[in-house]
Structure 1
Amino acid sequence: MEDHNLHDEAEAEKKLREYIYVDTDLMNSLLAQFDEGLSTLTTRMNEKTSILTQVATKGGRKSAKISGGVPGIANGSGSAEDSHSMADESSTHNRHQYSENIVYGDYGVEILEGYLKKQFVPVENAEPGDLVLYKDSFSLYDFDSLEAGTNPEIIDPVLRLSTDNVSEEKLDGLKKQLRVLQARTRNASNAKMQIDDMKKKIQKAEQKITEDKSSQENFRSVYAMVNFFSKSMPNSVIVSTEQTVVFAQKSLFRLSPSQLQMLQKNPRTLYIMGIVENKSDNTNWKHQTLTNSQLAPRDIGAIASYLSSIALTNFGISQKEDSLRIRPISMYF
């Protein structure tokens, strides 16, 4: 009993993790390669999910008698107790299963980390095929959300809502006022002051319109880049660190799209466990192939990869020429 209490105290003192991503299929695949990997996880699950079972099986039964007949139904009397009970049991089962899946992933990551402890390679020394576990500051890119947020059809009307926005029509109106003012006040003593004031307004309006056009062009450039990522890497979220680019499946995140946006400019460091699948190619691939009229068939499949490398670099996502490309197993704070 004393050992059990000590274990509970150790669990209570344990630093809590906030898991935001777990690839259970990849985790299970790696655990299965250790003789006792999956059995250890199953044992831990059986120990830790008993409370879920207890909570899930608690509850009551409600019933309501129905009588009087319903058109189209031969027997119009009965009880709603059975259907309510079945729906309640189904809902309870779904909640229980969801909770078990979360717990399974959490404990599986910890067990896998224990098995791989001696196999992890420092990021600065890692090569394709190596396993890594590291922490770093990060930037997150959800291209589906970015595509919607930078679409010119959506963003242009929003930009025009600015209180200091100046339209071409307003600028034309100011110029017309200037011409009228110049014609009417040609001989007036205060004409120069009024004309100079109007010219300043026109100059300020022209400057604002130029800035707005530049801003719109910037958004269009960003949208073109984001649209490329969205189409070439569908259902993906990219996490960028100083030395790595992490390619994650959006469906495996435990956060909604709006919650993912909260991770932008996050001051915390993110723990990432994964497999190094490749390194960014810093060779002059464009000179070697795109300018060559005799494009070899073996190079065709690399075109998309090359374009992605250009986009990742231009967008500032790939921070090093030879940054590691990571397939994540888990990410947590």
Structure 2
Amino acid sequence: MEIASIPPSPGEDARRVQAPVRGRGAASWVAGRFETRAQVGEDDGWGSVYDALAEAPALRTQVAEERARRIISRNASPDIGFSQSVNPYRGCEHGCVYCFARPSHAYLNLSPGLDFETRLFAKTNAAELLRAELAKPGYVPAPIALGINTDGWQPIERRYSISRACLEVLRETRHPLSIVTKGSALLRDLDLLAALARDGLASVYVSVTTLDNGLSAALEPRAAAPHTRLKLISALREAGVPVGVLVAPVIPAITDAHLERILAAAREAGAQSASYVLLRLPHELKDIWREWLRLHYPDRAAHVMSLLRQMRGGKDYDSAFGTRMRGEGPFADLIALRFAKARRRCGYGALPPLRTDLFVRPQPDSPQGELF
């Protein structure tokens, strides 16, 4: 698979992007941490660096089809509620500037910035591989998180239907799964999800960051609007699919004031359970986030970063298990108390556990068919 080189990005000192890129979350090609060379744009005093950015052609989404070697990823992280996941796509067109998965694009020698949301990869053999891995004699069923690193129901799913194909395999084998999404494309798959849910095999969390349309458009430019996500919660509930709301990420001084309103609106829409995650800034995401703050909230950028560091032991990010999702310190404790109080007031409970006892191992492909 041939991957073109990253377009040159302005250097950190000279890089003062004049305006956001329309329809995109990141504003530049932030270099990946594995780059051996960096290209730096130096302004000559005549605004040439900024002119080049302004005159660049509109960014279009490019999708490369790839044949993955395996599809089920496993983890033993103690603060994640699943042990295995399936990701049909790499990169995400939703363009959420805060996405914790952005640094994974560095492994492809691509930018976690604009490349992450414009240079996408579709694993066209995902369903085929999933069936083969479930058919292995030693496979032990456990709930699969479908589309957890990048959203399985991002806009290109309408074209490729890879996540739906995986759902069909899981329905056929009566295998449990969970989904976290902010994509309205999931509405197309309510038939499969409802059938899985009737057997206690499916649950969905809809991610809601804010109820403010303008802020949502800046933070997550190609994701479904907040009111559309609330409608998705209602549709899932009406179809009999256990559904919760994930307030993620909670961003101090940007979205944390919306916490209670999100919980109340999601509960009214039909959400049965609720959780939240504090903003995480691993690897290159720190630079992407700072750039976004400079463009959208220059008056409070320093304050936001100060609050984040207070919740991360004085650092931009702390990846320690147990605290990376919620943070620590007085401000983090305050968010936790507010969330717990609002959760009780709204009457949230827990989603039912997923069943694993109904699993039917698929027959491996064989020239003899089902003779053996």
Q: TM-score range by the shorter chain?
A: under 0.3
The normalised TM-score by structure 1 is 0.18
Largest Rg, 1 or 2: 1
The normalised TM-score by structure 2 is 0.17
In proportion to residue count, which structure has more helix? 1
